[in-house]
Amino acid sequence: MNGTLSKIILHHSNVLNANYFFQELVNYNLDYDVIGISYYPQYGTKDLNIMQTKLNNLALTCNKQFMIVEVAYPFSLNYTDNLTNILGDITQTIT
């Protein structure tokens, strides 16, 4: 693969404070192409309007492309594998 086609992604774990994080990086003059964001509703926000607003602000402020690069959401709230679930209550889901 030609190295000029490769892009550098900086990954942050939470959209709620990502704008602050990437603004702090400006002081270091880092060369990167894409912002990567994790989305775990149980640790960030379940409100998709807040998510959209935060991502829009991030794109405008940083003038970078962004990707949601990590996501997890339960397909079931049942305890069926003898292990505990991180999400086990309907109030923890997006409605």
If you average pLDDT over residues 14-41, what whole number do you get?
A: 90
List phi, psi (to 5°) of 17: -120, 20
Per-residue pLDDT reduced to its tens digit, 31-75: 999 999 998 887 778 888 998 999 999 988 898 888 999 887 666
Q: What is the pLDDT of residue 3?
A: 64
Q: What is the pLDDT of residue 88?
A: 66
pLDDT, mean over the chain? 83
If you average pLDDT over residues 69-88, what whole number do you get?
A: 72
The answer to whether the predicted template modeling score (pTM) of the entire model surpasses 0.75 is no
Using the structure block, give the residue that is written with the tokens 């003898």.
82
Question: What are the C-alpha distances in Å from 5 to residues 2, 33, 63, 80, 88?
Answer: 6, 11, 19, 45, 43
